[in-house]
Each structure stands twice: as structure tokens, then as C-alpha cells.
Structure 1
Amino acid sequence: MFKIEKFDLLVSIYIFCIAVAELMGGKTFPLLKVLGYQLNASVAIFVLPLIFTINDVITEVFGKERTRSVIRSGLIVIGLILLVSLLFTYLPPSSRFQPSEKAYDTIFGLSARIAAASLTAFTIAEFLDVIVFVRIRQALGKSKLWLRTNASNFIAQFVDTAIFMTLAFYSLDRDLGSNFIFLTSLIVPYWLLKSFMSIIETPLIYLGVRWLKTK
């Protein structure tokens, strides 16, 4: 009989979301227009908020130490994906694969800068999410789960977005003012979008906690 523990299933979904964001997040799509401005988003927007949601569910049920262990597992996955992607795109193609080599390298050939930005932002934001969630719970008690999960997600996702965009797109050839304007135009819309997705996923927090607590 096929059987899997609930916690193991939740961690599997967590790892799946990380892998999808890293491997498929390079694709963007037109989301909506605001005052004539076309807002585009990465397809990773559908899984990134879920990563923070799973963090909060595990923290609520098992505590911060268990969540930190899961986060460390996620970091290993990201590191291995980046390492393998760089290694495999570096290897020369066979004559049969040669026509597909350019497309393969475009999809999987992550630059060292983008890779470092992603790993750094994820590390800081994930641990910050747990810290903020726990601090709010200590201050307000076990009630208002919706408040601490959204507050921690808003803060952590802003830090995640700001760090990634800054490390990935800051230009040493431009002055501080130009960089600030450009980075703000990237950070604010994307953070607001991720925050909106986090609000939509709020019911999943309650469902996840109840499901995980039920034997």
C-alpha cells in the first residue's frame, strides 16, 4: 500500500516549488496593465508565495527549528541545481545534440551573478520569515494566524525581492540615483504582486495547519 507521511509530503511540495522557481522561473508573461503600463511577471510567482506559506505551516505546527532544517534542505537543492546547471551547460554537446545546444544553454545556463543573487536572497528571506513569524506569535499568542503569516511573508518577500534585484541588476556603470530609480521600478511591482498572491493563499495556511495536526 502506498503511504507517505504528511510532513514528508509537505516537504516534497516545498522542494518542488523551489525546483520549479529555479528551473522555470526565467519565463515571464504579461500579467496586467496599470495606467497603460504593462506589468509582466515570472511564472515563478505561482510557486514562490507557496514556499513561504509552507514555512509558516511547519513553524506553526512543529516550531522554528524544524522549519530551519527544511530551509537548509532547500538551500542544498538550490545549490545543487545551480552547480549541475553550470556544469552541464559547460560540457560540449554531441553532434546529434548540436542543433539544440543554444536553446539548452539559454534555458539552463545561469550566470554566476544571477545564481549568487538567488541563493543569497533566498537564504536571508527564508530565515527572516521564520523569525518574524515566531516573534509575532510570541507577542500576540496563538490567535490571528492570518496576521502573522501575512506580516512575515510581506516583510520576507520584500527583503527577498530587494536583495535579488539589487545583486542581479545593480550597475556599477551608473550613478546611485539611476540605479535607485531602476531597481525601485523592478522591486515594488514584483513585491506587491507576491504580497497579493500571499493574501490569496491565506486560507491554505489554515487548511495546512489543520491537515498537518490531524492524525
Structure 2
Amino acid sequence: MTWYSMYSLPILYGMAFMVYIAAAGILWLVHRLGREELLLPVGAMDYILLLTISQYMASKIGAYVGPLVVPMGVITYSASVSVLDFLTLRYGRGVGYWVVRIAAYLQALVFLINYLVINYPPAQFWESLQAPFAAIMGVSARIAIASITAFIVSETYDVFLVSRLGGGVLRRVGYSDPVTMTIDTLVFIPIAFYGVVPNIWLLMLSQLTVKMSLVPMTMLAVWLNRKALRYAVATLR
């Protein structure tokens, strides 16, 4: 057992914390600099970038604790939910829906371009490097379809819940995100890994366990940007 595997749990949450802080930090900085007009485009780019990274990270299955395993894309996907929550709370349900739809289109475009580039006939002297390039840049069709389908369903529902629930920001996020992440897991795992990964129920349980444990980080990321939202600080108590 290597030192890395021994400390896999703190490393996992350390990685997640850095991703969450980076995702929330760019929004905090834009607001701090008084560039309110940039919050929507920067937030949308932040969200789309995290989703794109999630497609590639989803194929990496990492150890968690004991028999539990988890696709590493959980980290960036969960962070993307915090950004979507922020955009929905700031700009409303209609904007949240449009951000999800545009992101779905762009994720499909990323997969299509990758597929065409990887399968384009290479120059003869380059053929030996084709396989490594495909391994680095390729996203399997199953994972791409699973990722796009899962986040359209789950994050559309997230926008609906966040915009309809009453109360402060933390209450909205705390109630909506566990539901959203459960739906994402129930859709994504069977489409992406059924028949490929043994004991798929264990994989689903592992992903749900990690996602639920990351909900406090999602709440923290949104709370850090509370002053940029349209709610009084008093409602966050």
C-alpha cells in the first residue's frame, strides 16, 4: 500500500475543497471588483468548464474507503452544482434553465469534436502516437451520453427546486442538492457503467456517499458569495 492510497480520503476531500474554492473564488473576485455585469458570463463559463472536466474524470475510478469506489468526476460535477445554484439564486429560474441547456449542447459538441479528431486518419509517421492521443483525449460514447443525460435531468430539477423553495440561501441549497445529486447518480451510473463495472450497486452507493458528504462544501461555496445574491444576509442565518 502506497502513502497515496493510505491517505486517499483526505486527498479526495482536499482536492474537492480546492475545486470548490476555485469555482466560488472567481465569482467572489468578480463581485469584489464591482464587475457585476460579468457575473453571469463568468459563472456560466465556470459551470461549463467544470462539467467538461467531469466528462474526462468520470472514466477514472478511484478508491474511497475499503470496498467503496467512486468516479473522480464527482468532485468537479458537485462543484458545478454550487455554481448553478448561485446563478439560479442570482438571476432566476429562466436563466438557470438556459444555462443547463447551453451546457448540454456544448458537452455534446465537445464529445463530437473529440470523436471526429480521434478518428481522423493520421499522417503515416504519426500513427504510432494515435493510441496515446485517443487515451488522453477520448471520452467514451457511453460516458458522454450518461453525463449529458444525467446532468440535464438532475440539474434542470435543481434549478426548479432552488427557485421554488422558500427561506434563505443555505436552506435552499441544503434541501435541493441532495435530491439533485441522487437523481444524477441514479441516471449516470447505469448508463455509463452497467455491464462494464462489476457490482454496479456498490459504485452507486459509493458515489452517493461522496456526493452527500460534499453538500456542506456546496453550501459553503454559495455562502461565500452571499453578498452577490439578492438576499439579505439576515436570511442566511
Is the CA contact (8 Å cut-off) linking 1:121 and 1:163 kept in structure 2?
yes
- State the shift of 1:79 in Å: 0.6
The counterpart of 2:160, out of the listed 131, 137, 140, is 131
- CA 1:162–1:151: 2 relative to 1, 3 Å: same
Task: Give the superposition deviation at 1:81.
Answer: 0.8
TM-score by length of 1: 0.80
Aligned length: 197
Letter in 1 for 2:117: F
Distance in 2, matches of 1:67 and 1:185, equals: 32
Give the CA deviation at 1:213.
Answer: 5.4
Letter in 2 for 1:208: N
- Among residues 178, 193, 197, which one is paired with 1:154 in the alignment? 178
- CA spacing shift, 1:29–1:183, aligned 2, 3 Å: closer
The offset of 1:23, in angstroms, is 3.0
Q: Normalization by structure 2: what TM-score? A: 0.73
The corresponding residue for 1:29 is 62
Residues 1-215 of structure 1 aligned to structure 2 (within 5 Å): 5-31=38-64, 33=65, 37-137=66-166, 142-143=167-168, 145-171=169-195, 182-211=199-228
- Which amino acid in 2 is paired with 1:13? D
Query: Could you tell me whether the CA contact under 8 Å between 2:69 and 2:203 is conserved in 1?
Result: no
Conserved? CA contact 1:165–1:186, under 8 Å: yes
Is the 1:86–1:108 Cα contact (8 Å) retained in structure 2? no
Unpaired runs of at least 5, structure 2: 1-34, 232-237
Give the secondary-structure state (helix, strand or coil) at the position aligned to 1:47: helix
Distance 2:102 2:148 in 1: 13
Cα RMSD after superposing both structures: 2.6
**Whole-Å Cα distance in 2 between the matches of residues 41 and 169 of structure 1?**
12
Q: Tell me the CA shift for residue 22 of structure 1.
A: 1.7
Deviation string, structure 1 residues 143-196 (Cα, Å, up to 9, x no partner): 3x222212211111111111111122334xxxxxxx9x9332111111120121
The C-alpha deviation readout for 1:73-105, integer Å capped at 9, x for no partner, is 111111101111111111122233222211222
CA distance in 1, matches of 2:125, 2:213: 46
Partner of 2:12: none
State the 1:38 CA deviation.
Answer: 4.2
Secondary structure of the equivalent of 1:92?
coil
Shift of 1:52: 0.9
Deviation at 1:53, TM superposition (A): 0.8
